[in-house]
Structure 1
Amino acid sequence: MHHARQRLPLLLAAAVAVAALGACSGPSTEKQGGAAAATGEPPVKVTPQPDPANAALPLDAYGFDKSQQKVLQQAQDILTEACMRRIGFASFKNSNTYVAGPDTRRSTSGIGLVDADSAKKYGYRTGELPNRDAGAPAKRDPSETAALFGPQDGVPAHPGAPEGGCAGEAARKLYPKGPKGTSTTPAGNGLVDELTQQAGDRARGDSRVTAAISQWSSCMRDAGFQVKTPWELQQMEGTRWTGPVTGEEITAATTDVSCKQKTKLSDTWAAVLTAYQNTLIEKHKQDLDQEKKHLGEQVAFAEKVLKDGAA
């Protein structure tokens, strides 16, 4: 009797998985769309994504693109170095200078790993490449650190250094107060970041995404991986996936991507996320246009810094 009670939830779970797998067909997708509409979820059309790792999303048009990010980082380096030399550090060189490396892959999206080639080469490593043998950078002199960032660990501010150090001065020049009195930084484009987060949160709870995740989980279980959501695997970077990339990690990563393709989870996620972003853009169009104009002014100033050498 005890064993029978244990088997019942497993049988029910298997039945749910079988029903979910049937949702891959065209008619079931149409039924899901109707059910979603009844719950107030936006209508979507799921189409194949030729490059899911680099799929364009509506809110991308309102943030910095890669070339603009490069210009901003280089300008910030120039402004920081000019300030440091002005207050007495003649040989200062910013160790954070932007370097465009050969690896331009985007291995993940909001649904986790989606690029098959990246999975085969790097597993779940989303930061720098797994062979990290370059060593740590040389430790800064405390007085230089205080000049760069302001008072640090009991070290007083360097004479003549601006508030927040030279890094703070450079950031204020590049990212002055926005139209509503809030500062803007390249890592936080204000409203764009906020709406991106909102759209992602809504997409995670969307019935079409959760159904596709159930199918993905069943596919992974058939391959020997007991995981309920893609984020469980992604979060293992730095814990389970450490040191050199192992065969186990490569197998998990390639199976993950394969299951996303088989169950159309990647395509479903892209379609649903796009729908939620479009809804939010329509609601906040005026404010987004204003923020885009402000970001454009920042890039124009950064380009001037690169041309003139300082500001």
Structure 2
Amino acid sequence: MAGFDLPDPVRPPDLTDRRYGLSNLSEAARFGYGLPDEAIPSDRVQMKELSESERKALGSDGDQEGCIGIGTARVTGSALAATATSPVAVKIQKDTWLASSEDGRVRASISDWSKCMKSGGFEMSTPLESPKAGISESEEKRIATSSIKCSSSVGLPRVWFDVEAELQVLAISKESAKLEAEKGELRRQLDKADSIAKMAGGLDGGN
């Protein structure tokens, strides 16, 4: 933007970003293995530091007197209860990723990826591996882009995604009752938060 020292825009991450290794070629060419946010100099984004009284008013998770705890209690019924969580879904996500990483189809594709990287002069065993510390920025970017090109050439992201999706379908079917219960609770929390927001809006409008 003219007149403003702003970084080039980056796309928002999707649900599989870096789940199977680097995946965006243009971002790898710009940032290497770093995340876009990490590539923005800290002096460009100044966050206001809260005063002691502001921190006390805001509070924290589990604080029954701070704004966070009060808001949580109004939505969930307790300042100690987490909002918008789905433990079963999170566990399925973690478990299926770990199981998929050990699947023979994925291991074979990772081996092909490693051979591809070796042909380019890079000794790496998995796309989740980061390059050794101390290399130049240009070399890091070269490794990052090579990783993505090799993943694409051997079809690793698709293989891994399909295997994990297969495992997730089975896990979701097995835990369907628990997931439905969690979904219902999340919906109740959203409805409660929505009603609180509307009530607060009505009060503000009346002032």
Is the CA contact (8 Å cut-off) linking 1:184 and 1:190 kept in structure 2? no
Is the CA contact (8 Å cut-off) linking 2:27 and 2:36 kept in structure 1? no
Is the CA contact (8 Å cut-off) linking 1:108 and 1:126 kept in structure 2? no
1:149 aligns with 2:59: yes
Offset at 1:164? Answer: 5.4
Consecutive unaligned residues in structure 1, runs of 5 or more? 1-100, 151-161
Change (3 A) 1:126 1:185: farther
TM-score normalised according to structure 2 size: 0.77
Measure the CA separation in 2 of the matches of 1:224 and 1:204: 25
Let me know the Cα RMSD of the aligned residues. 2.9
Q: Which one-letter code corresponds to 2:32 in the other structure?
A: G
Change (3 A) 1:230 1:168: same
Offset at 1:204? Answer: 1.0
Offset at 1:140? Answer: 2.0
Consecutive unaligned residues in structure 2, runs of 5 or more? 1-8
Q: How does 1:1-311 map onto structure 2 within 5 Å?
A: 103-106=11-14, 108-126=17-35, 128=37, 130-132=39-41, 133-149=43-59, 163=64, 165-176=66-77, 183-186=81-84, 188-233=85-130, 246-309=137-200
Q: Which one-letter code corresponds to 1:104 in the other structure?
A: P
Measure the CA separation in 1 of the matches of 2:10 and 2:191: 26
Larger Rg: 1
Measure the CA separation in 2 of the matches of 1:218 and 1:176: 55
Greater relative contact order: 1 or 2 (C-alpha under 8 angstroms, separation 6 or more)?
1
Change (3 A) 1:197 1:183: farther
Q: Which one-letter code corresponds to 2:146 in the other structure?
A: T
Offset at 1:102? Answer: 6.8
Measure the CA separation in 1 of the matches of 2:77 and 2:103: 38
Change (3 A) 1:175 1:195: farther
